Amino acid sequence: MIIKNVDLETICGITSKLPENTLPEIAFAGKSNVGKSSLINTLMNRKSYARISATPGKTQTINFYNINQELYLVDLPGYGYAKVSEQEKQKWGRMVERYLHGSKQLRAVFLLIDIRHDPSANDKMMYDWIRAQGYAPIIIATKLDKIKRSQKEKQVRAVRQGLGLPPETKVIPFSSVTKQGRDEIWELAEKEYLI
């Protein structure tokens, strides 16, 4: 995918009406500090279009990035961040649920997991929940540059086991530093979901 044009077109808060987009949407979910903004910036070939924050849990809205007037990358609020009240978490949960149920254009959901650690209870819950909404999430194992190359296979296995993935589920190791995994994500998105 050659990125010619990027536009943060819609920002949906808790009470906002979801946009009625006509282009395909690809959504990204993940824990608050898993590197979602870095991934989205890497996919868009932009340095800091999606805001990266030192404070996890900053994305509290659903952000729709229009790419080349061809598709939307949809940044979902991060989950599992301790400093947010239970009430806030529930509101975010309802907002994401409304999106997953309500979007007519959603083609795929990518779930980001930090490759350095076994998936947390929150990760497992999110994975099961996305499946319960009728989607088979593709897993992106982020922060690949933070582990030794020799650990990669072992960590990918740990992610598979921790989430209880079926054998056919794709796990894409990714690094926003080296850009490894970027082309694979775009290829998969274009081939599987945008035709």
For residues 138 and 110, the answer to whether their CB atoms sit within 8 Å is yes
Q: What is the C-alpha separation between 133 and 130, in angstroms, rounded?
A: 5
Average pLDDT over residues 175-179: 97
pLDDT band at 195 (very low <50, low <70, confident <90, very high): low
The per-residue pLDDT for range 133-159, each reduced to its tens digit, is 899 999 999 999 999 999 999 999 999
Instruction: Using the predicted structure, report yes or no on whether residue 36 has a pLDDT greater than 70.
Output: yes
Average pLDDT over residues 47-73: 78
pTM (two decimals): 0.91
Q: What is the C-alpha separation between 124 and 129, in angstroms, rounded?
A: 8
pLDDT band at 56 (very low <50, low <70, confident <90, very high): low
Instruction: Using the predicted structure, report yes or no on whether residue 80 has a pLDDT greater than 90.
Output: no
pLDDT band at 58 (very low <50, low <70, confident <90, very high): low
Q: Which two tokens stand for residue 36?
A: 């979602």
Q: What is the C-alpha separation between 151 and 129, in angstroms, rounded?
A: 29
The per-residue pLDDT for range 96-120, each reduced to its tens digit, is 889 998 999 999 999 999 999 999 9
Q: What is the C-alpha separation between 131 and 150, in angstroms, rounded?
A: 31
Instruction: Using the predicted structure, report yes or no on whether residue 15 has a pLDDT greater than 60.
Output: yes
Instruction: Using the predicted structure, report yes or no on whether residue 93 has a pLDDT greater than 70.
Output: yes
What average pLDDT does the chain have? 89
pLDDT value at residue 66: 95
**Type and span of the H or E element at 113:** strand 106-114
29: Cα separation from own chain's centroid = 3
